[in-house]
Amino acid sequence: VSIDTTDLGDFIIARSIDEPLYHFAVVADDFDMGITHVIRAEEHLSNTPRQILIQEAIGAPRPIYAHLPLVLAADKAKLSKRKHGETVWLTYYRSRGYLPEAILNFVALIGWNPGDDREIFSLAELVKEFSLEKVQKGGGVFNVEKLNWINKEYIKKLGKEEQLKGLRPFVPEIVNDELLKKLLPVLIDRVNVWGEAQELFEEGEFEYLFNEPSVDTTKIVWKNDTKEGSREHLTEVLRRLYDLDENTWTIETIKESIWSYAEEKGKGNVLWPMRMTLTGKEKSADPFTVAALLGKEKTLARITSAIQSLA
């Protein structure tokens, strides 16, 4: 970038002998601290000629300058705290449970890419790959959907103990450590960021784990099936589950005991009544997972109650 400095005129550098203004202060400060590179937003591009002139006047070396494009909101407007509120603050993302590594990875990709399709980087990889030459000239969009995807990828890479530790502050106290371990696969599948686990509980997504669901018998029946058919299927499910050993009551053993029957009679005919009976919800984790979470005693009791209600 070049500029005709005669267009700048005589610009003010101080209000008085002991009140320096920004241009003079920043040049003196950078000189005093030995700053070699100044990397800042493109909004400062117009300030640079004035600061170079001051550097020359006081005998300060010229740093290497780079001006980066602005970070834009989804509507391509400049991202600002006035217009976009708390979503521009790092503390907002920390409070929502985003991982620091994911934030760093995401921010590095706003307005820059390594020249290929890679999107997940460790800090060491970013340090190795990053170069100012690959920073684009146009503003980069702060895409929350992409941030959530990156954060999800980092969550999946964590070990189980790290995942449990991350979730713990965002689940209610009623969820003890044992139950949280059982819920872990469900939550990891459902959330992009730890804070979404809190939202699921607040919305009553797992209410069936703590309270008996209120089940409308008309909703237990799957599409073109009948009450008699649903009662027959639940009775067979009850029989098969009753024979399972409580010590090996897992998602896998529950599914294995029911799956062949569900395939024979129609998965919807068998699994829908089971889901509705156990949760009272049309949408939830699969019935095998729900049964494993509830335990054998609660599962059998709820299915028995539903069979009686369909009589």
Pairing mode, strands 37-41 and 64-68: parallel
Instruction: Choose the catalytic residue: 81, 128, 165, 181.
Output: 81
Over the range 62-91, which residues count as b (16 or more CB within 10 Å of their CB) and which as e? ebeeebbbbbbbeeeeebeeeeeeeebeee
CA pair distance 200, 208, nearest whole angstrom: 13
Backbone angles phi, psi at 68, to 5 degrees: -90, 150
The closest of 212, 209, 206 to 305, measured between CA atoms, is 212
Q: Which two tokens stand for residue 129?
A: 């790959």
Pairing mode, strands 71-72 and 64-68: unpaired
> What kind and span of H or E run contains 229?
helix 227-242
Residue 156 among the catalytic residues: no
Greatest distance between any 2 Cα atoms in the chain: 95
Rounded to a whole number of angstroms, the distance between the first and last alpha carbons of the chain is 83
Q: Tell me how far CA of residue 217 lies from CA of 205, 231, 267, 286, in angstroms.
A: 20, 10, 19, 19
CA pair distance 287, 292, nearest whole angstrom: 8
Residues belonging to the active site: 81
